[in-house]
Structure 1
């Protein structure tokens, strides 16, 4: 409520400060006929004065006998004719300049309308935003801001079963999401045969969260069969195969990565997985070359570059520490320690 009151006062202050000139009498003064009418009167007035001056100069010249009588009469008739014409036009311009009527009080009414619209619109927007709670750091059902139906709450608390929120999200009795129930829904949808590729990928990721790597790998394979040739799914499957730690799966992951690199030799995700596969096969120098090349490809992506540089640093640190151990020689000794236990996710572009 305090925010609303402060907003109203601020809007009123801004509205009055902005629109005050429109409420004053100065805004309703006679604007006149404009520069065009004023210039027309001035032009004819100047023309008349010029011709009168020319007529006087002509009389002076004749009195001083600088011109003869014939020329004097001829020039005088011409100047008098032009002067009469200029005087007539000047009279017409003055007659056309009627007194302007006082304008209606339009500006004050317009100002009041604009001020009211500004205040009402801002207050309505403030109230609307105040009612829209979009925070994600609290549960509106827990503190009672958005109460759940009483029968749902009692049934869930008594039986200990999961319930469904208004957003169709399975919840435990304490209000936390029920991951198991959500996974079960996805499983039923996939088994029914009407699941989309997004549902299959989501189920695969859910299996991975639950440490069910075998089921996760099967879902990734199913997703690949639903979208053959999709490089993104192929690379996700290759990453999952590298996580299993078995030689057949690693060989399959290598085949997938090489196929992707054949189509796109500069694919950052494929190069990352290829580097991880080389590390797992103790081919450290080749892996270092691949990762060094990858560093230049992901130069604009700070997160991906940080991951690649970090892995290179781990390889260098492992090799350096093993060189200090007496008797630790050969290529495979440092490679075994340098290889990570589980492959990391491919860096995003």
Structure 2
């Protein structure tokens, strides 16, 4: 790109400065077509007298005038020519050039100024045009040397022979840890995520974890969510109790209010469910996905026929 810019710059300078460097560029421009200088008037007078002398000779040759008249006319025209030549000699100063040539130093400054403007404009266009170009002076991978690859395994996760995280080995290791009884809530959360990836059921794990960590909020929420997706009455009753306990401990916990609204809908108490959802809406306003779920459920139960269907005997 720099070579192209240099060539274009050189061509532009040559085109702009070339005419200024020629000698003819500093010659006088003259007076134009409407010149009334003494020299121009003498040229016109000379042309007129020459034409009349030629006509006088032609008339004598054709016999239209006699020799006496031809001689008189020639004498008169010669006198007029002498008079015009005398006037021309009196104004010899008009023969000097109308415009003095520019000094050499002035020409050099003009050329330098034009060349500088062309160079500045060319490099300005080059800078604007190359803003989106790829920087070829450094490796694009230099800034990525310290960043991990997308398929790099997290710290502590087993990897296969090809370097890809081995989820099966990680699940086996977590299951062994949980069976030994020496595990933490984070181990339960990680194993549950792995079960979801593998499509396996984690109800038994949640039952054990809820008994081992009865005060852990995340395990409680995971248990409630799993219970609502199933049909086990005992698990549903236990989950509803957990919701009530979470609401008592943290009234502004958005997840607890959401699950409470779901249980109210299951019981057919739509008025209470609407009130719960309307109270939940401001709490999840900053979460577009949660806010959309609240609006969707509220619109579904905010229809009169739902109330009639929920009332017994109708």
Shorter-chain TM-score: which interval? 0.3 to 0.5
* TM-score in terms of structure 2 length: 0.46
Larger of the two Rg values belongs to structure: 2
* TM-score in terms of structure 1 length: 0.42
